[in-house]
Structure 1
Amino acid sequence: MDTSTQLYDYEATGWKRGLYDDIKHTFRAPIVNWIFRTTMANHPEFVRHMWGQIKPAFETRQFGRVSIEYRDAVLSAVESERDLPVYRREDVDVSPAEYAELRRQLATFDVVAPRLAVLFELVDRALSGQPVGTAPVDTPLATEPLEPSLDRDRGAPPTLAAFDDPPAGLAETVESIQSFHGIDEGLPSVHRCLAQWPGYLERSWGDIDPALRDDAFADGCSDAREIVEGYVESLPYEPQLGTDVLSSRGLDEDAIEDLTALFREFNLGAIETVVPSIHVFADTLRVVGERDVR
């Protein structure tokens, strides 16, 4: 796969445009993440089939509970060791309009983070023949619809700083972020977004970096992952993404291997710490979503 190629939201037409709109509606966030854009550019028929198979996993009350538990697992672990900072507008040297936009865009990532965690785990397992839906739970939550209000309408479409020309003074911060997450080059989308407000990213990373290096954060990531794994195993159905099914959809062996490797990399690579850390950033601006399972 050429992962440098993407089909952006504004370029999508026909059924691809409709599918992108459905992703945004289902994820309850005004964003089509990179994993969808690059996979659509390379293997659109796979995305059409995959989305139809996995979409129900994000539409139940059980998923809503998982998304809340995931967020709380990370933050409760971190808070057990440290008090996270909270930044007012004056603390990060931005205008009132910039501060409001920063908070809205970061809220979008906070919404999407648990959804990405489930997406990567679910598709990775389904492509590689690992257990999915092997221990369905007998509870109405497993099949009842997701509450209409949960995470709905609390973000803004993210924009990203160009990584090849990072804002002046962020070089050391960028290097530290890459080092912590084990990234050889580039930055994840959340950090490229926050880099639009250098004063915030530099200060927040300097303050939360020690917390992310604590054993407590590692424990929180582990707890959050267990929540996701348990959910994927408890699904009341099994998405059909096996080799035989994909072959019947026109994907050859090389394409299936590429897709399997891509989702495995995202499920077990740097994203294991990047996605949970989004909630830590969000807490510093008080744009974290629900944490209490009622």
Structure 2
Amino acid sequence: MANEPGFLRYAWGQVKPVFQTRAFARLSVRYRDAVLDAMDAPDDPLPRYRPSETGLDPAAARELRGQLATYDVVAPRLAVLFETMDRALHGDPVGHEPGEVSAATEPSPDWLDRDRGRAPTLLDDADVADELADTVARVRSFHGFDGGLPSIYRTLAQWPPFFERMWADVEPRLERDAFADALERTDDLVSSFVDATPYRPRVGPDDLTRRVRRGDGGGRAGAVSAVQRGAGRDRATGVPVFAATVDAAGERELS
């Protein structure tokens, strides 16, 4: 969306309030818990790597963990953003089934996700190490996309030993029914949240025609839908799994 500055400035002003409530904070925690509850069973836990088992020096292992923590914070935000934007851009209902009034109007707790993570850094696709060719091919095959690698994988590609080992261990789990269950649970959570949010962003076609310079809004509805209805949801749902492998997942309960 940053490729269309006028669109991004206007759209962010419209959707930002959605993320500032206690109701969203609760959704973000439940999203993570839904994924890990499905994928990290007591009798079949996810792999966990101590820093010495990542194949990285201590500084790199800390950086990896910090950046995965950031993605863990961002994943439910992206899921809600794309569901909200996809609906609004196509004139579908948002906030048509108001939920709990207090949580919908109370601010998000200041302590939640405070000071978690490090600013992500990413490789360009051309800079991904040749030794990752097989891993990258399997990632593409799993998600079913042909374009450039998404951000999470271009971040992981900075640390080939970890990326190779983690994907080899996690990929079979992503192909099981448990991951399909995680996708269904998170889809339901996100959809219910967007149904109930009291904020109705004005980013429909008519709104964009009136408020966004011609050209800046062109094709955005299709681009958002391509992510929301394609491999984007798989990537977001997988992030808590990746973070959990290095103990970088966040809170799983919020009253």
C-alpha contact (below 8 Å) 1:70/1:224 kept by paired residues: yes
C-alpha contact (below 8 Å) 2:104/2:197 kept by paired residues: yes
Which amino acid in the other structure matches residue 136 of structure 1?
A: P
2:176 matched to which residue of 1? Answer: 214
Query: TM-score, length-normalised on structure 1?
Result: 0.83
2:244 matched to which residue of 1? Answer: 283
Q: How much does 1:40 deviate? A: 3.0
1:156 matched to which residue of 2? Answer: 118
- Rate the CA distance shift 1:161–1:138 in 2: closer, same or farther, 3 A: closer
C-alpha separation in 2, matches of 1:202 and 1:138: 44
C-alpha separation in 2, matches of 1:94 and 1:178: 25
Corresponding position: 1:144 with 2:106? yes
SS of 2:3's partner is helix
Q: How much does 1:82 deviate? A: 3.0
1:104 matched to which residue of 2? Answer: 66
C-alpha separation in 1, matches of 2:140 and 2:132: 12
Deviations 1:257-286 (A, max 9, x none): 501101111111111111110110000000
C-alpha separation in 2, matches of 1:189 and 1:40: 14
- Rate the CA distance shift 1:95–1:245 in 2: closer, same or farther, 3 A: same
Q: How much does 1:94 deviate? A: 0.9
SS of 2:97's partner is coil
1:50 matched to which residue of 2? Answer: 11
CA RMSD of aligned residues (A): 1.5
Q: What is the number of equivalent residue pairs in this alignment?
A: 254
The one of 82, 105, 124 aligned to 2:86: 124
Query: TM-score, length-normalised on structure 2?
Result: 0.95
C-alpha separation in 1, matches of 2:71 and 2:188: 21
Q: How much does 1:187 deviate? A: 1.1
Q: Which has the higher contact order (CA 8 A, sep 6+)?
A: 2
Deviations 1:216-269 (A, max 9, x none): 1011111101101100110113111122221111444x7645011011111111
C-alpha separation in 2, matches of 1:177 and 1:256: 31
C-alpha separation in 1, matches of 2:90 and 2:28: 24
Q: How much does 1:50 deviate? A: 1.1
C-alpha separation in 1, matches of 2:124 and 2:10: 32
Which amino acid in the other structure matches residue 200 of structure 1?
A: F
- Rate the CA distance shift 1:164–1:137 in 2: closer, same or farther, 3 A: same
2:158 matched to which residue of 1? Answer: 196
C-alpha contact (below 8 Å) 1:54/1:239 kept by paired residues: yes
C-alpha separation in 2, matches of 1:152 and 1:277: 22
C-alpha separation in 1, matches of 2:229 and 2:113: 26
Corresponding position: 1:171 with 2:140? no
Gap runs ≥5 in structure 2: none
